[in-house]
Structures are given as C-alpha cells and as structure tokens.
Amino acid sequence: MRYTTDMTTGSEFGHIIRFALPMLAGNLFQQFYNIADSVIVGRFLGADALASVGATGSITYFFYTLCIGLATGTGILISQSFGAGSHENVKKYISNSAYVLGIFGIVISILSALAAPYLLKMLNTPPEIFEAATGYMRISCIGTIAVAAYNWINSVMRSLGDSKTPLIFLVVASVLNIGLDLLFVVVYEMGVNGAAWATIIAQAVSAIGSIIFAFAKNPMFRLTKEHARLDSRYAGKCVSTGVPIALQNAMVSVSMIYLQSVANTFGKTVVAAYTATMRVEQLIHQPFSSINAAISAFTGQNVGAGKKERVVTGYKASMKAGTIFALALLVVFLLFSGQIVGLFVDEAEVIEIGAAALKISACFYVFLGMIHVTRGLLNGAGDVKYALINGIAEVAGRIGFAILLVNIPGTGYFAVWGTTCLTWLLTGIMSYARYKGGSWERKADNIQI
C-alpha cells in the first residue's frame, strides 16, 4: 500500500474520487457507531434517554470542532508543502502541529467537562433529562483529547494523499464501539453514560492505532531530532492557518447550540425527533464532507505545485457529482423518511415529526453539497479568512431565521428544521460567490512554502 499520493498529475476527478471513497467509507463507519449509540439508547433506554443524548450533541460538537479546525489548518500546510516537493517542511509541520493539537486538546477536555452542567442549564435542557444529559456530556468532553489526536493524525495522512489507512482503524473502532455499547448499556446497565464511554474508548483506540501505524510505515513520519524540535515559526503558522477554520467551526457550533435551545423549548418529544433527524443528517453529511476533504487535499497539492487549472477542473466535476447525489437523496427521503426515523424510536409522534422534517431538509441538500465542495477548494487554496466570514453568516442565519420562523403563525416546531435549510441556502450561495470572485486564485499565487 502507498502511504503518499502525488495528485498534481493524472485525472483530476479520478484523484478526488479515489481519495474520497475510502474516506467516505471511514466516515460512514464513524457515523454508524455514533448512530449505534442512538439506536441502542433509544431502543433499550427509551425516548427520554435518547433526548438526553441529543441535548448534548451541539455543545460537545462545539468543543470537538475547535480541534477539527486546527487539524484542518495543519492539513492545508502539509498538502501545499508536499505538492511543492518540500518534504523537510512536511516533517516539521507534522511534529509542530502535534504539539499544538496535543496541548489544545488537553485544555479543552478539562474546561468542557467542568462547564457541562452550566452550559446545559443555559440551553433550557428539560428537567426530566438534565441529570442524564450532564453525565453523558461530561464523559464525552473528557474524550476531547482523543478527538484531537484522531483528527490530527487523519488530517496529516489525508494531506499526503492517504485516505485508506484511516479507514482500516475506523472499521476496527466502529465494531469495538458497537460491542462496548451493548456491553455497557445492555449487560452492565450503565445507562447513557455507558454509551458515552463506549464512543470515547473507540475513538481513542482509532487515534492511537493510526498514530503508531503512521510512524511505523509512512516515510514522511521518519523524523529526526531537528524535525521534532518545537519551532515557533511552524507552530505559529499551524495556529494562524487553523484558527480561522476553528472559529468558523465554532460559530457553526454556536448557531447549532442556539438551535438546540430552540428545539428544547418545544419539549422532550420534539427534542427526541430532532435528535433522530440530526443523527440521520450526520450520516448524509459524510459523502459531502468526504469530497470536501478530497478537494481540499487535491487543491493544496496543486496550488503548491502552481497548477490552478487542475483545481478548476476538479471543482466543476465535484459540484456535478454532489448535485446528483443530493437529488438521489431527495427521492429516498420522500419515500422512506418514516422508516428511517423508526430505526431510532418506537414512539409514533416522534416518528411522524421526524419524518416530515427529513422531507423538508432533503429539498435543500443541493446547497449543502455546494457548501462542502466550495469550502474544500477555498481552504485548500489557503483562503482561510473566508472560513471566518462564512462562520459569521451561519450564526446570523441560524439565529435570524429561527427568530423569524418561530414567530410565523403555523410554523411551530418545524421552524427548527426550516432554519437549518435556509441557512444552507444562504451559506451555499455565499461560498459559490466567493469562488467566482477569484480570491482563492490570488491566495494561491502568493503561497509561501
């Protein structure tokens, strides 16, 4: 197996698809073990337990996504250096980004675990599920360091063109997570806390296994003492590139937290339906996010090599593929949304609300695909400042549309899902306009390796 891939020659879309498919499989396995939490919790512990898990999702994602943003910034720098043929820079970015992500992950793990009950109170978490939600969130937040490690190593490997190795470890982690879910929740009756422990243990196993394997097999991880030395210039560039993306992710998370608080005001039945639909949408995001990561790595390598024309060709083909997939999903959800929500819960009212919500959301998946593909290109080209602008737009959209829709007579709890759809529409159009404006090309022309 090759552990690096030069994407500056050969078929543009071929590289993107060959990169995206293993990553998609890995992401799907990761989502399956997230969904396994919800299915096992919902089926064995009931709708209240499922709601308690869902009530924490947007907050824990806020902390996780800060780590993901920093890791993404690292991947951009490494892919650009690799495309330019500067292997010394690649190795220095690998070591210095590890220091940055490690320190950050530890700090966030401690702070988020301590803040859990206060944040849940701010979100108007229903009293019936508050205690269970607090326990689940604290355990999940303790595992943020594992999330940081996992996203760091995967971002590095993917920037070098290797999306297959992470898949292997995710398959193992997925099987382990489901097994631990059943053991902790069903056999040992640990409740929702057992589901949280199962997830972070599986995440840690995947991270540790990937890191050990990378250092053993990938030549880019053969570091000398000089490579491993903390260098403020390289560490600083990791921070300056990753922070705008982390802030974008954080703003998206803040907007999701606000939307969760809106959903909470409609009671535990709507919270359970929202949790089920969010789990499904997390799955739907994976093909789009896989193309996002693929075109980001592809763009980074090619702008590093000075081949912008290849970036444009790959982008156009990726947009067409994303649109076709979105339309196919629309057909599936119009026909089978009730059966899909029914996988999570038995309660008829929850299923009815969730099924209707999925049909509404599916009508806007084209814009979701537009967001992912375009963000991938812009990030890979180094236009990371736009990430911050886009994050602000998501916050404004989710808060503004939520306030508007909640106050429209007859909209009711469907305002929660309608808000997300309109926000996709807004940010999708903004992202495409940024691409057409050409700022990414100017950034690519001024890259300093």
Domain boundaries, the chain: 12-445
Contact between 321 and 104 under an 8 Å Cβ cutoff? The reply is no
The alpha carbon torsion through 413, 349, 286, 141 (nearest 10 deg) reads 80
DSSP string, 74-88: HHHHHHHHHHTT-HH
Query: Distance between alpha carbon 229 and the CA centroid of its chain, in Å?
Result: 30
pLDDT on residue 449: 65
Tokens 């949304």 locate to: 337
Give the angle subtended at the CA of 247 by the CAs of 244 and 248, to the nearest 5°. 85
The distance from CA 163 to its chain's CA centroid, rounded to whole angstroms, is 16
- Structure tokens that stand for 326 in this block: 């979105």
Q: Report the residue count for the chain.
A: 449
The pLDDT score that the predictor gives to residue 312 is 94
Quote the pLDDT of residue 1: 55
In three-state secondary structure terms, 445 is helix
The CA-CA-CA angle for residues 212, 217, 222, to 5°, reads: 85
Question: What tokens were used for 308?
Answer: 């912008």
pLDDT in tens, the chain (449 residues): 567 888 899 899 898 998 888 878 877 776 766 666 677 888 888 878 888 887 787 788 888 888 998 999 999 999 999 998 899 999 999 999 999 999 999 999 999 999 999 999 987 888 888 999 999 999 999 999 999 999 999 899 989 988 888 888 888 888 888 899 899 998 998 989 998 999 899 889 989 999 999 999 999 999 999 999 999 999 999 999 999 988 888 888 788 888 888 888 888 888 888 888 887 887 888 889 889 988 998 999 999 888 999 999 999 989 998 899 999 999 999 999 888 888 877 788 888 988 999 999 999 999 999 999 999 999 999 888 888 888 899 889 999 999 999 888 888 888 999 999 999 999 999 999 999 998 898 887 777 66
Instruction: Tell me the C-alpha to C-alpha distance, in Å, between residue 371 and each of 191, 288, 378, 386, 432.
Output: 37, 9, 11, 12, 8
Give whole-number Cα distances, 298 to 159, 374, 381, 410, in Å: 8, 13, 10, 46
Question: CB–CB of 148/101 below 8 Å?
Answer: yes
Handedness of CA 421, 426, 427, 433 (dihedral sign): positive
pLDDT at 388: 84
445, 302 Cβ separation under 8 angstroms: no
CA 36 to chain CA mean position, Å: 17
Closest-CA residue to 87 (of 154, 155, 160): 160
Is residue 157 a contact partner of residue 201, using CB atoms and an 8 Å limit?
Answer: no
Cα angle, residue 423 at apex, residues 419 and 425 outer, rounded to 5°: 120
Between the alpha carbon of residue 181 and those of residues 166, 172, 184, 194, 433, the distances in Å are: 22, 14, 5, 7, 44
| Tokens describing residue 250 | 């954080």
